[in-house]
Structure 1
Amino acid sequence: MDVTTSKSASVPRDTPIRNAMLKAAAGVLSDAYTHGLAEIRGLARPPQPKSPFLKAEPTVLPALGDNTPLTPEGRKSLEQYWEVYEQVKQDSSTPVKAKTLERRRVAWTEFHELTGSSLPIFKVQKSHIWAYRDALKRAPARSGSISELRRLSFPEKLEKARNGSNYAKLDPGTIKDRLRQIQVVLQLAVIRGHLVSNPAVGVTESSSVTRPSRRAYTTKELNVIFTSAPFDRVWPLEDDNTTDLPTYWFTAIRSGSRYGYFSTV
């Protein structure tokens, strides 16, 4: 009904959208009637709704710091997303080999068991990846070959290792590989448009950033430097005017009335 013009429009009864809406409304009203009748009768447990609109689980809304789910796949739980990854990847033109896929599945299973299997994938943050990295450093190695560890979940294996059991720990190469497998799965989510960004990028096996080391001067090299111009000069203390030099210098060595200088250029 158009209130401003006092005109109305009729919708044909055979339109699919009208029939679908009426069917949905009828299902909801039927469940409401059944639930109300159960309350009148004093039933302790009201019957479960039959309408799919009432049985649907509540939607988990994004919060500050979350990723952005772009498709329904981006809202899948961590445990459920492995099936999405495996199907998409293995049906593509570049499927992975069976051994690589198994390594990837092991890493993903460990990750979702530690983080929370029901956690939506769009809620995975970089802190979750770092927590998994830290857990890998405490995890027992070759747990699949040890009978008492084989059937345990990843958190249970960590607990076993924490309680003083003398298990060998994972080597850095294995930890690096596990982190890479997690990054690869999440990267496919970005490539396929399920998520906006990959939270595993930048998480490494080492907690420190590797910086290139610089070689120190040898004694022979220092002698060559300080016997060459302009270091071979004796600068009088009463007339120490170094501002005429074409470059800037700072005092590095002082021995009696002789100065040595290092170039800052």
Structure 2
Amino acid sequence: MGEAGETIDTSVPHPARRYNYWLGGKDHFAADRASGDAIAKAFPIVVDLARANRKFLGRAVRFLAAEGIRQFLDVGTGLPAPDNTHEVAQRVAPEARVVYVDNDPIVMTHARALLQGDPRGRTAYIEADVRDPGAVLKHEALRDTLDLGQPVGLLLIAVLHFVHDDGQAATSVRTLVDALPPGSFVALTHGTMDVSSAEGVARYEKMFAAGGTDVRARGREQILGWFDGLEIVEPGLTLVSDWWADDDPAGRPVSDDLGIYAVVARKN
């Protein structure tokens, strides 16, 4: 992840643009495609998992909106794609407000141009990094759009596995959660090798050490540790396709090499 506000370097792959490539979008460069192809060659399931992750976002936002959440903070939003957070939320509650956060200037350019929500609600956009949660929380656009005295749905979808430092990842989650009032929710997805074979783990570790992937996979207990003091929503921490699934189990991506965990929790 780069620092917010930096000049766009299209020769370096960026997670948001690579994710867009896997989702079948058009907003990516040669470096993003090369990175995406290399990861998919090592772990062919990754494209299906990216799409399953996107479907989880929709289910999680619908769940939070049904629970009465009318404000959303989407950190690491990625490039616009069908069923963006505000679109899903405002179908349930047109007055829903959403603040999008990403550190890729291209993401922010597209967001401002394309992510126009229902006029009864509001959308705002912050170019910032999840590794600097204080900057997110102090940003004028957030304060103008969300009322942090009222419950917020915090979305950390496939972003924290790009934070390689374990302490920084934990601090980012805790800082953001601590700023939210009781009744708020957190929805998170994160890459894991818990489902992998020994051969898959070895392949991942070799690729990560060589810089071939920027995903820092983490295990169940480490991820759950970020949720100490929160009420985990049933069915708990699951593989991303299994969380409140609304499809045929036979059609869900299954792999013994790579997985994505999903979890939703409530702050009481």
TM above 0.5: no
Which has the higher Rg, Structure 1 or Structure 2?
A: 1
The two structures have a TM-score, normalised by structure 1, of 0.21
Answer 1 or 2: which has greater helix percent.
Answer: 1
Report the TM-score, using the length of structure 2 for normalisation.
0.21
Higher strand share: 2
Q: RCO greater where, 1 or 2, for CA within 8 Å and sep 6 or more?
A: 2
